[in-house]
Amino acid sequence: MAKIFISTTSFAKFDSTTLEYCRKGNEVKLNPFARKLTSEELIGLAKDSEGIIAGTELYDRNVLEGLPKLKVISRCGVGLDNIDIEAASELGIKIYNTADAPTLAVAELTIGLILDLLRKISLMDRQLRKGTWQKYMGNLLEGKNIGIIGFGRIGKKVAEILFSFKTNIAYYDICPKDSSAVYVFKTMQDLLSWADIVTLHCSASAEAGEIIGKGELSHMKRGAYLINVARGSLIDEEALYMCLKDGHLAGAALDVFKKEPYRGKLTELDNVILTPHIGSYAKEARIEMERQAVENVLKGLEDIK
Protein backbone atom coordinates (compact mmCIF):
# COMPACT_ATOMS: atom_id res chain seq x y z
CA MET A 1 0.00 0.00 0.00
CA ALA A 2 1.43 3.36 -1.05
CA LYS A 3 0.65 6.66 0.63
CA ILE A 4 -0.41 9.29 -1.90
CA PHE A 5 -1.19 12.93 -1.19
CA ILE A 6 -3.31 14.97 -3.62
CA SER A 7 -2.43 18.62 -3.14
CA THR A 8 -4.56 20.24 -5.86
CA THR A 9 -7.23 22.65 -4.65
CA SER A 10 -9.98 20.40 -5.97
CA PHE A 11 -9.87 16.84 -7.19
CA ALA A 12 -12.59 14.53 -8.52
CA LYS A 13 -15.14 17.34 -8.34
CA PHE A 14 -16.65 16.42 -11.69
CA ASP A 15 -15.82 12.71 -11.85
CA SER A 16 -14.82 10.49 -8.93
CA THR A 17 -13.72 7.56 -11.10
CA THR A 18 -10.01 8.37 -11.05
CA LEU A 19 -9.98 9.03 -7.31
CA GLU A 20 -11.68 5.69 -6.63
CA TYR A 21 -9.13 4.00 -8.90
CA CYS A 22 -6.25 5.71 -7.06
CA ARG A 23 -7.62 4.53 -3.71
CA LYS A 24 -7.57 0.86 -4.69
CA GLY A 25 -4.77 -0.59 -2.61
CA ASN A 26 -3.42 2.83 -1.64
CA GLU A 27 -3.89 5.31 1.19
CA VAL A 28 -4.94 8.61 -0.36
CA LYS A 29 -5.15 11.96 1.42
CA LEU A 30 -6.73 15.08 -0.10
CA ASN A 31 -5.90 18.77 0.39
CA PRO A 32 -8.27 19.73 3.24
CA PHE A 33 -8.10 23.49 2.64
CA ALA A 34 -9.32 23.66 -0.99
CA ARG A 35 -6.70 26.34 -1.74
CA LYS A 36 -3.05 26.58 -2.68
CA LEU A 37 -0.90 25.19 0.14
CA THR A 38 1.97 26.97 1.85
CA SER A 39 5.28 25.14 2.06
CA GLU A 40 4.75 24.46 5.75
CA GLU A 41 1.29 23.03 5.15
CA LEU A 42 2.55 20.87 2.29
CA ILE A 43 5.31 19.36 4.40
CA GLY A 44 2.93 18.75 7.28
CA LEU A 45 0.30 17.05 5.15
CA ALA A 46 2.59 15.03 2.87
CA LYS A 47 5.51 14.16 5.16
CA ASP A 48 4.77 10.42 5.00
CA SER A 49 3.74 10.32 1.34
CA GLU A 50 5.58 8.36 -1.33
CA GLY A 51 3.62 9.96 -4.15
CA ILE A 52 2.08 13.39 -4.66
CA ILE A 53 -0.41 14.54 -7.26
CA ALA A 54 0.67 18.17 -7.36
CA GLY A 55 -0.90 21.50 -8.19
CA THR A 56 0.89 24.87 -8.43
CA GLU A 57 2.29 24.91 -4.89
CA LEU A 58 6.06 25.29 -4.47
CA TYR A 59 8.40 22.31 -4.44
CA ASP A 60 11.76 23.92 -3.80
CA ARG A 61 14.75 22.14 -2.26
CA ASN A 62 13.60 22.87 1.30
CA VAL A 63 10.17 21.36 0.66
CA LEU A 64 11.58 18.31 -1.12
CA GLU A 65 14.08 17.67 1.66
CA GLY A 66 11.19 17.96 4.11
CA LEU A 67 9.45 15.04 2.37
CA PRO A 68 11.95 12.21 2.97
CA LYS A 69 9.68 9.40 1.73
CA LEU A 70 8.65 11.10 -1.50
CA LYS A 71 9.46 9.15 -4.67
CA VAL A 72 7.06 10.53 -7.32
CA ILE A 73 5.55 13.94 -8.10
CA SER A 74 2.76 13.75 -10.67
CA ARG A 75 1.91 17.29 -11.73
CA CYS A 76 -1.79 17.73 -12.55
CA GLY A 77 -1.02 20.24 -15.30
CA VAL A 78 1.72 21.13 -17.75
CA GLY A 79 4.05 23.59 -16.03
CA LEU A 80 6.93 22.36 -13.88
CA ASP A 81 8.34 25.77 -12.98
CA ASN A 82 7.10 25.34 -9.38
CA ILE A 83 9.33 22.28 -8.95
CA ASP A 84 13.11 22.34 -8.39
CA ILE A 85 13.90 19.70 -11.02
CA GLU A 86 17.60 19.55 -10.14
CA ALA A 87 16.92 18.99 -6.44
CA ALA A 88 14.28 16.37 -7.25
CA SER A 89 16.74 14.51 -9.46
CA GLU A 90 19.41 14.57 -6.76
CA LEU A 91 16.90 13.19 -4.26
CA GLY A 92 15.75 10.44 -6.63
CA ILE A 93 12.25 11.84 -7.10
CA LYS A 94 10.55 11.12 -10.43
CA ILE A 95 8.60 13.96 -12.08
CA TYR A 96 5.61 13.59 -14.41
CA ASN A 97 3.11 16.03 -15.89
CA THR A 98 -0.09 15.88 -17.94
CA ALA A 99 1.25 17.64 -21.01
CA ASP A 100 -1.51 16.80 -23.47
CA ALA A 101 -4.69 17.07 -21.40
CA PRO A 102 -5.16 20.88 -21.14
CA THR A 103 -4.13 21.73 -24.71
CA LEU A 104 -7.58 22.27 -26.21
CA ALA A 105 -8.94 24.04 -23.13
CA VAL A 106 -6.12 26.60 -23.13
CA ALA A 107 -6.32 27.06 -26.90
CA GLU A 108 -10.08 27.67 -26.80
CA LEU A 109 -9.69 30.17 -23.94
CA THR A 110 -7.12 32.01 -26.06
CA ILE A 111 -9.55 32.29 -28.96
CA GLY A 112 -12.29 33.48 -26.61
CA LEU A 113 -10.04 36.20 -25.18
CA ILE A 114 -9.00 37.36 -28.66
CA LEU A 115 -12.62 37.70 -29.78
CA ASP A 116 -13.55 39.42 -26.51
CA LEU A 117 -10.77 41.98 -26.96
CA LEU A 118 -11.56 42.67 -30.60
CA ARG A 119 -15.29 43.15 -30.01
CA LYS A 120 -14.92 44.74 -26.52
CA ILE A 121 -17.49 42.35 -25.09
CA SER A 122 -16.37 42.44 -21.44
CA LEU A 123 -16.02 46.23 -21.49
CA MET A 124 -19.56 46.80 -22.72
CA ASP A 125 -20.94 44.17 -20.35
CA ARG A 126 -19.36 45.98 -17.37
CA GLN A 127 -20.66 49.34 -18.51
CA LEU A 128 -24.17 48.08 -19.23
CA ARG A 129 -24.42 46.61 -15.72
CA LYS A 130 -23.55 50.07 -14.38
CA GLY A 131 -26.36 51.66 -16.41
CA THR A 132 -24.30 52.91 -19.36
CA TRP A 133 -25.67 52.06 -22.81
CA GLN A 134 -22.55 52.68 -24.88
CA LYS A 135 -21.75 50.98 -28.19
CA TYR A 136 -18.09 50.57 -29.17
CA MET A 137 -16.95 49.73 -32.68
CA GLY A 138 -14.90 46.54 -32.70
CA ASN A 139 -12.80 44.68 -35.25
CA LEU A 140 -13.01 41.44 -37.16
CA LEU A 141 -10.57 38.64 -36.50
CA GLU A 142 -10.46 37.71 -40.18
CA GLY A 143 -7.37 39.03 -41.93
CA LYS A 144 -5.45 39.89 -38.76
CA ASN A 145 -1.76 39.11 -38.33
CA ILE A 146 -1.40 36.71 -35.39
CA GLY A 147 2.00 36.24 -33.75
CA ILE A 148 2.35 33.13 -31.60
CA ILE A 149 5.31 33.02 -29.21
CA GLY A 150 5.97 29.41 -28.23
CA PHE A 151 4.97 26.83 -30.83
CA GLY A 152 4.50 23.67 -28.83
CA ARG A 153 1.29 21.72 -28.33
CA ILE A 154 -0.84 24.70 -27.30
CA GLY A 155 0.68 27.19 -29.72
CA LYS A 156 0.07 24.82 -32.63
CA LYS A 157 -3.51 24.15 -31.54
CA VAL A 158 -4.17 27.90 -31.38
CA ALA A 159 -2.75 28.26 -34.88
CA GLU A 160 -4.92 25.40 -36.13
CA ILE A 161 -8.10 27.03 -34.79
CA LEU A 162 -7.15 30.53 -35.96
CA PHE A 163 -6.44 29.28 -39.47
CA SER A 164 -10.17 28.72 -39.96
CA PHE A 165 -10.73 32.45 -39.29
CA LYS A 166 -8.58 33.28 -42.37
CA THR A 167 -5.88 34.95 -40.31
CA ASN A 168 -2.20 35.34 -41.17
CA ILE A 169 -0.15 33.30 -38.71
CA ALA A 170 3.52 33.54 -37.78
CA TYR A 171 5.38 32.14 -34.80
CA TYR A 172 8.56 32.49 -32.80
CA ASP A 173 10.11 29.62 -30.87
CA ILE A 174 13.59 29.08 -29.42
CA CYS A 175 13.61 25.80 -31.37
CA PRO A 176 12.30 26.83 -34.80
CA LYS A 177 10.09 24.31 -36.56
CA ASP A 178 9.91 23.94 -40.31
CA SER A 179 8.26 26.99 -41.81
CA SER A 180 5.45 26.53 -44.29
CA ALA A 181 3.13 28.65 -46.36
CA VAL A 182 0.66 28.44 -43.47
CA TYR A 183 2.79 29.00 -40.36
CA VAL A 184 5.84 31.18 -40.93
CA PHE A 185 8.75 31.51 -38.52
CA LYS A 186 9.84 35.05 -37.64
CA THR A 187 12.41 36.40 -35.25
CA MET A 188 10.99 37.81 -32.04
CA GLN A 189 11.49 41.44 -33.08
CA ASP A 190 10.05 40.89 -36.56
CA LEU A 191 7.04 39.08 -35.13
CA LEU A 192 6.32 41.81 -32.56
CA SER A 193 6.43 44.58 -35.16
CA TRP A 194 4.30 42.58 -37.66
CA ALA A 195 1.52 41.18 -35.48
CA ASP A 196 -1.85 42.76 -34.75
CA ILE A 197 -2.27 40.21 -31.95
CA VAL A 198 0.54 38.55 -29.98
CA THR A 199 -0.26 35.51 -27.88
CA LEU A 200 2.15 33.77 -25.51
CA HIS A 201 2.28 29.98 -25.24
CA CYS A 202 5.82 29.37 -24.04
CA SER A 203 7.15 27.98 -20.79
CA ALA A 204 9.06 30.01 -18.23
CA SER A 205 12.42 29.33 -16.64
CA ALA A 206 14.71 31.10 -14.24
CA GLU A 207 17.19 31.56 -17.09
CA ALA A 208 14.67 33.03 -19.51
CA GLY A 209 12.90 35.36 -17.08
CA GLU A 210 10.74 38.02 -18.71
CA ILE A 211 10.53 37.83 -22.47
CA ILE A 212 8.11 40.75 -22.90
CA GLY A 213 9.48 43.85 -21.25
CA LYS A 214 9.53 47.56 -22.03
CA GLY A 215 11.71 47.09 -25.09
CA GLU A 216 9.64 44.31 -26.60
CA LEU A 217 6.39 46.19 -25.96
CA SER A 218 7.80 49.23 -27.74
CA HIS A 219 8.40 47.07 -30.83
CA MET A 220 4.75 46.04 -30.99
CA LYS A 221 2.41 47.82 -33.38
CA ARG A 222 0.50 50.75 -31.97
CA GLY A 223 -3.03 49.46 -31.44
CA ALA A 224 -1.97 45.81 -31.15
CA TYR A 225 -3.22 43.32 -28.56
CA LEU A 226 -1.29 41.03 -26.20
CA ILE A 227 -2.55 37.77 -24.66
CA ASN A 228 -0.82 35.71 -21.97
CA VAL A 229 -2.26 32.36 -20.93
CA ALA A 230 1.18 30.81 -20.39
CA ARG A 231 3.22 32.01 -17.38
CA GLY A 232 2.91 35.23 -15.40
CA SER A 233 6.69 35.64 -15.18
CA LEU A 234 6.94 36.16 -18.95
CA ILE A 235 5.65 39.76 -18.90
CA ASP A 236 6.80 42.95 -17.17
CA GLU A 237 3.41 43.86 -15.74
CA GLU A 238 4.41 47.46 -14.91
CA ALA A 239 5.61 48.09 -18.47
CA LEU A 240 2.44 46.51 -19.83
CA TYR A 241 0.32 48.76 -17.60
CA MET A 242 2.02 51.87 -19.01
CA CYS A 243 1.60 50.68 -22.62
CA LEU A 244 -2.10 50.05 -22.06
CA LYS A 245 -2.65 53.29 -20.19
CA ASP A 246 -0.98 55.49 -22.81
CA GLY A 247 -2.75 53.71 -25.67
CA HIS A 248 0.28 52.17 -27.35
CA LEU A 249 -1.49 48.83 -27.01
CA ALA A 250 -5.22 48.69 -27.67
CA GLY A 251 -5.75 45.94 -25.14
CA ALA A 252 -4.48 42.86 -23.36
CA ALA A 253 -5.84 39.69 -21.80
CA LEU A 254 -4.04 37.91 -18.98
CA ASP A 255 -4.91 34.62 -17.33
CA VAL A 256 -1.62 34.35 -15.40
CA PHE A 257 0.32 36.75 -13.19
CA LYS A 258 3.63 37.02 -11.37
CA LYS A 259 1.83 36.96 -8.03
CA GLU A 260 -1.48 35.18 -7.66
CA PRO A 261 -4.13 36.06 -6.60
CA TYR A 262 -3.52 39.24 -8.62
CA ARG A 263 -4.38 42.62 -7.04
CA GLY A 264 -2.23 44.93 -9.17
CA LYS A 265 -2.74 48.10 -11.18
CA LEU A 266 -3.99 46.36 -14.31
CA THR A 267 -7.34 46.03 -12.53
CA GLU A 268 -7.74 49.81 -12.93
CA LEU A 269 -7.83 49.65 -16.74
CA ASP A 270 -10.84 49.07 -18.98
CA ASN A 271 -8.83 47.80 -21.94
CA VAL A 272 -7.56 44.66 -20.22
CA ILE A 273 -9.32 41.35 -19.52
CA LEU A 274 -8.15 39.54 -16.38
CA THR A 275 -9.04 35.94 -15.52
CA PRO A 276 -7.89 33.94 -12.45
CA HIS A 277 -5.62 31.31 -14.06
CA ILE A 278 -8.41 29.27 -15.65
CA GLY A 279 -6.62 28.02 -18.78
CA SER A 280 -7.35 24.35 -18.07
CA TYR A 281 -10.68 24.96 -16.34
CA ALA A 282 -12.94 23.05 -18.68
CA LYS A 283 -14.64 20.01 -17.15
CA GLU A 284 -13.55 17.64 -19.88
CA ALA A 285 -9.95 18.81 -19.70
CA ARG A 286 -9.91 18.65 -15.91
CA ILE A 287 -11.19 15.09 -15.84
CA GLU A 288 -8.56 14.04 -18.38
CA MET A 289 -5.78 15.80 -16.45
CA GLU A 290 -6.77 14.00 -13.26
CA ARG A 291 -6.91 10.66 -15.06
CA GLN A 292 -3.42 11.14 -16.47
CA ALA A 293 -2.09 12.40 -13.13
CA VAL A 294 -3.33 9.29 -11.33
CA GLU A 295 -1.94 6.99 -14.02
CA ASN A 296 1.42 8.76 -13.79
CA VAL A 297 1.77 8.56 -10.02
CA LEU A 298 0.79 4.89 -9.96
CA LYS A 299 3.15 4.07 -12.83
CA GLY A 300 5.97 5.95 -11.13
CA LEU A 301 5.45 4.14 -7.83
CA GLU A 302 5.19 0.78 -9.58
CA ASP A 303 8.45 1.37 -11.47
CA ILE A 304 10.47 1.93 -8.28
CA LYS A 305 9.34 -1.29 -6.59
- Which top CATH class is 2-101+283-303? alpha beta
Residue 207 has pLDDT above 60, yes or no: no
In this chain, the answer to whether the domains covering 2-101+283-303 and 103-274 adopt an identical fold is: yes
Instruction: Give tens-digit pLDDT for 147-172.
Output: 999 999 999 999 999 999 999 999 99
Q: Are 235 and 111 in contact (CB under 8 A)?
A: no
Residue 54 φ/ψ region, left for φ over 0, alpha for ψ in the -120 to 50 degree band, beta for the rest: beta
Cα(300)–Cα(305) distance, integer angstroms:
9
Angle between the N-to-C axes of helices 103-119 and 283-303, in degrees from 0 to 180, rounded to the nearest 10: 150
Q: How many residues does the chain have?
A: 305
Instruction: Give tens-digit pLDDT for 171-187.
Output: 999 987 665 667 999 99
Q: Which of 99, 83, 292 is nearest to 70 (CA)?
A: 83
The active-site residue, picked from 231, 286, 288, 290, is 231
Q: Which of 69, 49, 113 is nearest to 273 (CA)?
A: 113
Residue 297 has pLDDT above 70, yes or no: yes
Instruction: Give tens-digit pLDDT for 226-246.
Output: 999 999 999 999 999 999 999
Q: Does residue 277 carry a catalytic annotation?
A: yes
Q: What pTM was computed for the model?
A: 0.87
Instruction: Give tens-digit pLDDT for 5-34.
Output: 999 998 999 999 999 999 999 999 999 999
Q: Does residue 27 carry a catalytic annotation?
A: no
Q: Does residue 260 carry a catalytic annotation?
A: yes
Domain locations in the chain as residue ranges: 2-101+283-303, 103-274
Residue 204 has pLDDT above 80, yes or no: no
CATH superfamily, domain at 103-274: NAD(P)-binding Rossmann-like Domain (3.40.50.720)
Q: Are 57 and 42 in contact (CB under 8 A)?
A: yes
The active-site residue, picked from 160, 238, 260, 284, is 260
The active-site residue, picked from 153, 219, 248, 277, is 277
Burial tier of 269 (Cβ tally within 10 Å: 0-12, 13-18, 19+): middle
Cα(255)–Cα(109) distance, integer angstroms:
9
Instruction: Give tens-digit pLDDT for 100-141.
Output: 999 999 999 999 999 999 999 999 999 999 999 999 999 999
